[in-house]
C-alpha cells in the first residue's frame, strides 16, 4: 500500500458521498483507515474515522457518529496532532452536539490566535473549494463541460 492508495480511496469515498452513495463511501473509508494504519499514518487514520463519523451522521446514526469522532479525536491527540484534534473537537460539538468537546474547543480557543482559530474552522471549506477549482480546471465541472 502507498500514500497514493490512501489518497485514491479518500477521493473515491468523497465522490460516492457527494452522490449520496453513503454505504459505498463508508466501505472506502474503512479501507482507507486500514491502509493508513498499515502505513502508520495516525493523521490519515483520524481523518478517515472523522469522515466515517460524518457519514454515520448523514445516515441518522448520531451515537455511532459520536463514537467514530471520539475515536478520531483520541488518535489525533495520542499522535500529538493538535490542529487536527481541534478540528475534530469542533466537528464533535457542531455536528453531533458533544458539549464536552464544545467546552474544550472554546476553552482552548481563548489561547489560540485568531488566525489559527479561523484556519481550524474553515479548513474543510478551503479543501472543498480547492477540489471544485481543480474540477473546473480539468474540465469535469458542470459549468465548464456543460454536463456531468
How far is residue 70's CA from residue 49's CA, in Å, rounded to a whole number? Answer: 9
The answer to whether 70 touches 86, Cβ cutoff 8 Å, is no
The answer to whether 81 and 42 have CB atoms below 8 angstroms apart is yes
CB count within 10 Å of CB 60 equals 8
CATH code at 35? 1.25.40.10
108 inside domain: no
Chunk the chain into consecutive blocks of 10 residues (it has 148) and report each block's average pLDDT, rounded to whole numbers: 86 95 97 96 96 94 92 96 92 70 48 50 47 49 37
User: Which helix or strand (DSSP H or E) is residue 132 part of?
Assistant: helix 114-138
What integer pLDDT is reported at residue 4 of this predicted model? 86
Whole-number Å distance between alpha carbons of 64 and 104? 21
Q: What is the DSSP string of 97-113?
A: --HHHHHHHHHHHTTS-
- Structural domains of the chain, count: 1
Asked whether residue 93 is domain-assigned, the answer is: no
- Which pLDDT value is given to residue 116? 53
- DSSP secondary structure string, 64-84? HHHHHHHHHHHHHHHTT-HHH
Is 96 a member of any domain?
no
pLDDT computed for residue 147 by the predictor:
38
Per-residue confidence (pLDDT) for residue 96, from 0 to 100: 65
pTM of the model: 0.66
Range of the domain at 59: 3-79
Q: What is the pLDDT of residue 50?
A: 95
Amino acid at each position: 500500500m502507498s500514500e497514493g492508495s490512501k489518497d485514491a480511496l479518500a477521493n473515491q469515498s468523497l465522490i460516492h458521498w457527494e452522490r449520496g452513495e453513503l454505504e459505498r463511501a463508508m466501505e472506502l473509508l474503512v479501507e482507507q483507515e486500514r491502509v493508513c494504519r498499515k502505513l502508520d499514518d495516525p493523521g490519515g487514520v483520524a481523518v478517515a474515522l472523522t469522515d466515517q463519523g460524518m457519514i454515520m451522521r448523514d445516515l441518522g446514526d448520531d451515537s455511532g457518529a459520536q463514537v467514530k469522532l471520539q475515536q478520531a479525536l483520541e488518535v489525533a491527540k495520542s499522535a500529538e496532532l493538535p490542529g487536527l484534534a481541534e478540528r475534530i473537537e469542533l466537528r464533535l460539538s457542531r455536528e453531533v452536539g458533544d458539549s464536552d468537546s464544545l467546552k474544550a474547543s472554546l476553552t482552548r480557543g481563548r489561547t489560540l490566535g485568531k488566525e489559527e482559530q479561523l484556519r481550524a474552522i474553515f479548513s474543510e471549506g478551503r479543501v472543498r473549494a480547492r477540489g471544485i477549482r481543480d474540477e473546473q480546471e480539468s474540465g469535469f465541472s458542470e459549468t465548464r463541460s456543460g454536463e456531468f
